[in-house]
Amino acid sequence: MLFKQQAQLRQKLLVLGSLAIGSVLYLVARVGTLESPIPGPEQIPLRSIQFKRALLHELRRGNGTKEQLGLQRLVQQLPQAIIIGVRKGGTRALLEMLNLHPTVVKASQEIHYFDNAKNYARGIEWYRSKMPFSFPHQITIEKSPAYFITDEVPERIFKMNSSIKLLIIVREPTTRAVSDYTQVLEGKERKNKTYHKFEKLAIDSSTFEVNTKYKAVRTSIYTKHLERWLKYFPVEQFHIVDGDRLITDPLSELKLVEQFLHLPPRISPFNLYFNATRGFYCLRFNIVFSKCLAGSKGRIHPEVDPSVLTKLQRFFHPFNQKFYQITGRTFTWP
Ligand SMILES: Nc1ncnc2c1ncn2[C@@H]1O[C@H](COP(=O)(O)OS(=O)(=O)O)[C@@H](OP(=O)(O)O)[C@H]1O
């Protein structure tokens, strides 16, 4: 009995200790690093949010119940915004970077609720149960890149929330297709299986034209997919993120997303630093905690015959023009 009480006391002290250390480190980290906060009704007390995040972390680790940690107001909210695609566009980087914002809570896993018949049949409360705990003033975001290209998804999302905000991150279409191929190739190699070369898959061997049956090619015809979505949602409900710029200048892209989501600007230069070894920007949450994306992000692409790349770029050109026209955002793709 005495032993149990001592163990409980020790656990409580541990929780309080880690919370106190976390808060002090957080305050030290934020002082002087934040952009001057914008005054107004939207302003959220950052420090208390970060403190609550620390409590949330303790809850997830099983170091107390909601009541013990004073987290009764925690809820599992359906997402108010979804990153619907595009596969290999930088969806993971975008989600992780948005999660730096104190008002954003991410669903860590891809949930595949709307594109997977079995999951969809489980119902909306199943979907909600997959969402992270958050406070009512926070917004939940999930990403499942397969949503963008799956026929049934727009209608299903519309039925859940017709005013939801939709984020699409795109990359130069040919590079995206090669990235898509690289991921599949790696999977095959891991299983000691052989796989065709990209050139063979992307070009029809009888007509020497671009093979539009190849999924990696089809996914890059962004306008075709977007048109299906526009049957349900007005174009204002979408925000297009430049995935190429998210790699080279992530903060500029994140600022545009903050505006689109009506979030106060809180992601600052402090939160992002370039890691020369990785060749990418990594994320800094505070002076002690920073992380880069997993090694599966930023793979080295195989070399592709330049004439095939040119053929693909020519093929995508008219679709790209249409995409610019519809979205009102122009990219520098060839
Ligand atoms: N900061 C940072 N760190 C690492 N990787 C980054 C980052 N920003 C964008 N990217 C690019 O993200 C590409 C992977 O895209 P996705 O996350 O959408 O892939 S997936 O569809 O979820 O598999 C991945 O594509 P590849 O380079 O082709 O592997 C990266 O180029």
pLDDT digits (tens, 9 = 90+) for 258-298: 999 999 999 999 999 999 999 999 999 988 899 999 999 99
> Is residue 78 a contact partner of residue 107, using CB atoms and an 8 Å limit?
no
Kindly report the CA angle at 165 between 79 and 144, in degrees rounded to 5? 55
Alpha helices in the chain (DSSP H): 2-30, 46-60, 91-98, 117-121, 124-129, 153-160, 173-190, 198-202, 215-219, 222-229, 243-248, 250-260, 306-327
Return the pLDDT at 185: 96
Ligand 1 binding pocket includes 52 (Cβ within 6 Å): no
Which of 4, 12, 66, 88 is catalytic? The answer is 88
Instruction: Answer yes or no: is the C-beta of 297 below 6 A from any ligand 1 atom.
Output: yes
Rg (CA), the chain: 22
- pLDDT at residue number 326: 97
Reported ipTM: 0.99
Active site residue 88: yes
Is the whole model's pTM more than 0.90, yes or no?
no
Torsion region of 88: left, alpha or beta (phi above 0 gives left; psi -120 to 50 gives alpha): left
What's the rounded Cα separation, in Å, for the pair 206 and 75?
57
Is the CB–ligand 1 distance for residue 179 below 6 Å? yes
Pocket test for ligand 1, best of 82, 83, 86, 88 (most atoms within 8 A of CB): 88
- Residue 69 CB neighbours (<10 A): 18
Q: What is the pLDDT of residues 208-265, one digit of tens each?
A: 999 999 999 999 999 999 999 999 999 999 999 999 999 999 999 999 999 999 999 9
Whose alpha carbon is nearest atom 4 of ligand 1?
Answer: 297
Question: Dihedral of CA 69/70/76/82: which sign?
Answer: negative
Chain centroid, CA 121 distance in Å: 25
Give the annotated binding-site residues for 3'-phosphoadenylyl sulfate.
Answer: 88-92, 171, 179, 281, 297-301
Separation of CA 203 and ligand 1 centre (Å): 25
- Atom number, ligand 1, closest to the C-alpha of residue 182: 28
Residue 45 has pLDDT above 60, yes or no: no
What is the share, in percent, of the chain residues with pLDDT greater than 90? 74
Highest mean pLDDT among 27-31, 41-45, 233-237: 233-237
Q: How far is the CA of 248 from the centre of ligand 1 (A)?
A: 12
CA of 186 to the centre of ligand 1 (A): 15
Q: Which atom, in ligand 1's list, is nearest to the CA of 180?
A: 28
Strand partners, 284: 290
CA 284 to chain centre: 16
| Interacting residues of 20 by C-beta distance below 8 A, sequence separation 6+ | none
102 lines ligand 1 (CB under 6 A): no
Q: Tell me which residue of 229, 224, 216 sits closest to 173, measured CA to CA.
A: 216
pLDDT, tens digit, 9 for 90 and up, residues 49-69: 556 667 777 777 777 887 777
Burial 36-52 (b: 16+ CB within 10 A, else e): eeeeeeeebebeebbbb
Q: Which residues of 88-119 are buried (b: 16+ CB within 10 A; e: fewer)?
A: bbbbbbbbbbbbbbbbbbbbeebbbbbbeeeb
CA–CA gap between residue 110 and residue 116 (Å, rounded)? 11
Q: What are the backbone dihedrals phi and psi of residue 142, each rounded to the nearest 5 degrees, phi first?
A: -125, 160
Whether 92 is in the pocket of ligand 1, judged by its Cβ within 6 Å, is yes
Beta carbons of 9 and 244 less than 8 angstroms apart = no
Gap between the Cα atoms of 319 and 52, Å rounded: 46
